Structure 1
Amino acid sequence: MISRIPRLLFENVLVPVADVLTKSVNNFAGHKSDHSYNSNATRAAIISEEEIEFYLNFKSAVLFLCLALCIAGFSVLMYFLYVLVFVPYNRVRRLGSIGYQNHEEGHLSKKDIANLVRRRRKVGDDLPPVFPNGWFRLVDSQQLEPGQVKQVTALGEHFAVFRSKSGKASILDAYCPHMGGNLAVGGIVKNDCLECPFHGWRFDGDGKCVAIPYSEKIPTFAKTKSWPCREVNKAIFVWFHCDGKEPEWEIPDISEISTAKFTYKGRVEHHANTHIQDVPENGSDLAHLSHLHVPNAMSGANLSTQYSSWWNFAEHIFRAQCIGSTDEEPHISLFYLTHYLHVFKRFKLLSLNLNVYQIGPGIVHLHFNSPFGKGVFVQTLTPVEPLHLVLTHNLHASWSIPVWLGRIFLYLEAIQVDRDVMIWNNKTFEPRPKLLKEDSLIAKYRRWYSQFYTENSPRLSLKSEDGNGW
């Protein structure tokens, strides 16, 4: 039996469309025939059975085409709804795709504009070290399957990040100590080891060579550097210390993520051209929250136009309270943040309360409570190069915040970060800023952040910034 809706669709849409198209063909054929025959009766009399069969086949073909178009349109709609409802959000903005303006005559590509700004911008005097000591994210857990290896460049190093067949993640130097082959480019994961594609030397997760295919004896010097690695909160982190010291503190585990009370809703990723200290310093810069981030997110991220948008009948209002760190955990700084949408300067909507934990130089946990439920943004910051940073926000939330709502949360967060990126990409670092008493928290924060630098922490070499761009 044909259900009621498909039958109505067939009778009221597909059949009339096919009839119209068929009549058009018949009229065209009749118009041509009138030049040769004097009457419709004569023309009808000589229509052959082949012509009748042709018209019937044509009508069937039109019906089939209409049906196929309807099915295709329905399938596209279902796919769109599936992505919206079930697929986690993934928004990536590479270096140069946002945050720059063309001040030159004529048209320039985004890449050319970004390179011009990077070369001409005043970097700043007396910059702090560019690679602080701490834990830094290299890849998200879902980006590394069992038996897979990835090359990651960060912190002035080249890493081979691999996951064994048993599921354990490890981080080795990317270059084989034998002849310099890249373990991550063509390397093969075999059980719990990574095999070099050049000569087949095989290394375990601790960097020890366990097999050489053409030698019975493995010398003691056959080993490569293994980096301290932690997989926590659905991401893989490496410990970096300029003096080679072992980890001095651990990354807090978010129990709601490890117990699956919170589920993954998506991520946004930004690449920025600035000093690493500029990004977390935003949290202590309360004045910028009351200016840069007040315009409605729907007004966009163009700093030249966002303040004049008609969307600003609803404004974002932020309030922050700094708590600071404790003697037991000096590497963690806490502050409270509240947000609401101020509509027509009368109504307060979408209230959001956040406990924000800055953990070391490159990790922030933003636990929030909203009218829709609870969740956490896991923010990570990793320097790829001295002034090239990768900033990620991964959202994990309760069941009451479905994927489609998580997409909205992440999009609104992404627009606000877009605005920061436009500032970061074009600013200079001020080692001795002219601060007001209302800015005292910035000075306090800089003193706290300085604990992640030591005497040998790498500093920027201006020579490296005078290259040909990227």
Structure 2
Amino acid sequence: MPQVERFPMGIPSGWFCIGYCDEFERGDIHAVHYFGRDLVVFRNDEGEMGLLDAYCPHLGAHLGHGGTIEGDSIRCPFHGWAFRPDGFCTKIPYGKIFPPRLKREPLAESYPVVERNGVVWAWYHPHGQKPHYEVMTHDEFTEDGWADPVRRIWRFASNPQEIAENGVDFAHFEFVHKMDAVPEGTAVYDKHIRKSEAHGHRQITLEDGSTKEIESSVFTVQNGAGQKFTRLKGVVELSMMVLATPIEKDDVELRFTFTHPPVEPGSPEEKAVEQAIAGTCGQTGVEGDIPIWHNKIHRANPFLCDGDGPILRLRRYFEQFYVDDEQPSLAAAE
């Protein structure tokens, strides 16, 4: 029997997190690997971020190992050729005649980069097409009046679609996370955007042993394959970014970034926020999912029942992010 391919889908196109803005000072250079490619990310002396193919188009030296920043460009360690974030060559230090072609078009392969919500976002498309939608801005991560972000990161063998699918797989919350049934709520799909909202009630136990019913809500917006934002209200108010970035088609980096309205240090409210974050990240949260994601396969034609949630609808939404030969197998008909 032939080996089963774990994931028939390739690497989706879209905006993806490649780090946080405060991780890159002027002059910083980092060798990274995303989208199945060796890349170099840097901030030039003018403060502009750049993401280029790692290997110099001249004779193939890795720009991220020994390269330096000079003005608006990254300089190759091998022969000193310099490149701006847009891929244009700005200097050949020993060349007497600057090739006319280099004045007309970029020589190094570059990727669009923007900084938003404290995140450095890179646009990936397998054929180099320009972005056809923008990164969303979230007030909680851009405006004053919110707590400093709390960050977590994991790496495991999966992909952005599998991670997103968990959000509509309502049955797993009971068996993986030992939670009560999660209300489905409503979901709206509009091209690359998916929005969902659910409301309910929770019973909490107070310090004196009594119980209290509180209203709870979950609002989520997915902006392409790599940007997801969730606002949770209940015992505490918590906002989070879910940032899934493909390293290879079966290797993913997952970041959670949290913020919340300010609370008094040492207060019961601060403890409740810490517990909520720990619960979202720990065994009752994503760390309960990761071993399953890491070892499962993608069933293109799954056997589903009426309690499984709108899994196939989410898969149809994700199909738009795959290009040509990276198109996944068609989902089973509902």
| TM-score over 0.5 for the pair | yes
**Matched positions, count:** 315
Q: In structure 1, the residue corresponding to 2:77 is in which secondary structure?
A: coil
Superposed, which structure 2 residues align to 1:297-316 within 5 Å? Answer: none
Task: Quote the offset at 1:390 in angstroms.
Answer: 0.7
Q: 1:364 aligns with which of 196, 211, 228?
A: 228
Q: TM-score, normalised by structure 2?
A: 0.85
Deviations 1:136-192 (A, max 9, x none): 111111211121011110111122111122322111111110111111112111222
Which secondary structure does the structure 2 equivalent of 1:290 belong to?
helix
| 1:428 to 2:297 alignment | yes
Matched, 1:443 2:323: no
Offset from partner CA, 1:118-142 (integer Å, 9 cap, x none): xx99544xx4322011111111112
What CA distance in whole angstroms lies between the structure 1 residues aligned with 2:108 and 2:254?
A: 29
Query: 1: CA distance between counterparts of 2:309 and 2:318?
Result: 15
Aligned counterpart, 1:199: 79
Report the CA distance shift for 1:246/1:158 in structure 2 as closer, same or farther (over 3 A): same
Give the strand-richer structure, 1 or 2.
2
Q: Does 1:319 align with 2:188?
A: no
Q: 2:64 aligns with which of 184, 188, 194?
A: 184
| AA matched with 1:197 | P
**Of the candidates 385, 388, 413, which is equivalent to residue 280 of structure 2?**
413
Matches within 5 A, 1:134-153: 134-153=14-33
Q: Please, which moves more after superposition, 398-407 or 159-168?
A: 398-407
Question: 8 Å contact 1:207–1:225 — kept in the other structure?
Answer: yes
Q: Indicate whether 1:456 and 2:319 are aligned.
A: no
Q: What is the deviation of 1:399?
A: 1.7
CA distance in 2, matches of 1:251, 1:264: 21
Using the alignment, how far apart are the partners of 1:146 and 1:162 within structure 2?
8
Residue identity in the other structure for 1:446:
R
- From 159, 165, 171, the counterpart of 1:287: 171
Cα distance in 1 for partners of 2:265, 2:129 equals: 42
Q: What CA RMSD, in Å, does the superposition of the two structures yield over aligned residues? A: 2.8
C-alpha contact 1:177 1:224 (8 A) present in aligned 2? yes
Matched, 1:274 2:143: no
Compared CA separation, residues 276 and 368, structure 1 to 2 (3 A): closer
Which consecutive residues of structure 2, in runs of 5 or more, have no partner in the other structure? 329-334
SS of residue paired to 1:291: helix
Match of 2:261 in 1: 398
Task: For residue 425 of structure 1, give the secondary structure of its aligned residue in structure 2.
Answer: helix
Q: Which residue of 1 aligns with 2:331?
A: none
Counterpart AA for 1:260: D
Structure with max Cα Rg: 1
CA distance in 2, matches of 1:218, 1:401: 61
> Is 1:382 aligned to residue 249 of structure 2?
no
Shift of 1:229: 0.9
Q: Deviations over 1:277-307 (max 9, x none)?
A: 211000111111233112xxxxxxxxxxxxx
Q: After superposition, give the CA deviation of every residue in 1:183-224 in whole Å (9 maximum; x if it has no partner).
A: 111211122211111111111111111111112332244421
Q: Give aligned-pair identity as a percent.
A: 27
Question: For residue 299 of structure 1, what is the aligned residue in structure 2?
Answer: none
| Equivalent pair of 2:15/2:123 in contact (CA under 8 Å) | yes
1:458 and 1:445 map into 2 onto residues whose CA distance is 15
In the alignment, the residues of structure 2 paired with residue 193 and residue 161 of structure 1 have an alpha-carbon distance, to the nearest angstrom, of 12
Asked if the contact 1:316–1:340 (Cα under 8 Å) also holds between the matched residues in 2, the reply is no
* Contact 2:171–2:181 (8 Å) recurs in 1: no
Q: Is the 8 A contact 1:268 1:410 kept in 2?
A: no
CA-to-aligned-CA distance 1:33-59 (integer Å, 9 cap, x gap): xxxxxxxxxxxxxxxxxxxxxxxxxxx
Q: Which residue type is aligned with residue 162 of structure 1?
A: F
CA contact (8 A) 2:169 2:309 kept: no
Segments of 5+ residues of structure 1 without an aligned counterpart are: 1-119, 295-314, 460-470
